[in-house]
Amino acid sequence: MNNILIILLVFSGTATFSQEYKVSYALFDGVIIGGYVDHGAFLNFTGPNLNATCRHSKFIFGMLPSLRFKKDHGTPKNAFVTPNLGIGCTYIYKMWAAQSACYYNGKTATENGQWHIGLGVGLRLNGFNKKK
């Protein structure tokens, strides 16, 4: 919780010193990301978030509604595609995006519940509509 407060203070502090920084929140940013986490893949879209914009760059911290793709080798088997909610940071430059996402795998009979960190790249869909 303290880390979140520190991040918020850093972003809000930079917004007060310069006219070029903008801090806001959004329900959806039009970003689609594909990536790798925990021996599987994910496809996510940025959800509710806090973001800071500076010229062509945008920093996002928020929730990541996702589809996770992972083959289950156990018995009984889970579905190959499962919905999931992650949390993470996204950096956008013009229309390109890079992301670090965290997903939680719940406790099972053979494994403890734990967080897994994944990395992904993608596109900002509304970046194509920007006037130059």
Cα–Cα dist 88/100, whole Å: 6
Cα–Cα dist 89/41, whole Å: 17
Quick: pLDDT tens for 20-77. 677 877 777 789 999 999 889 999 988 899 999 998 899 999 999 999 998 888 778 8
Q: For residue 92, give both structure tokens.
A: 């956008």
* Predicted TM-score of the model (pTM): 0.74
pLDDT of the residue at 103: 93
pLDDT of the residue at 102: 95
pLDDT of the residue at 5: 56
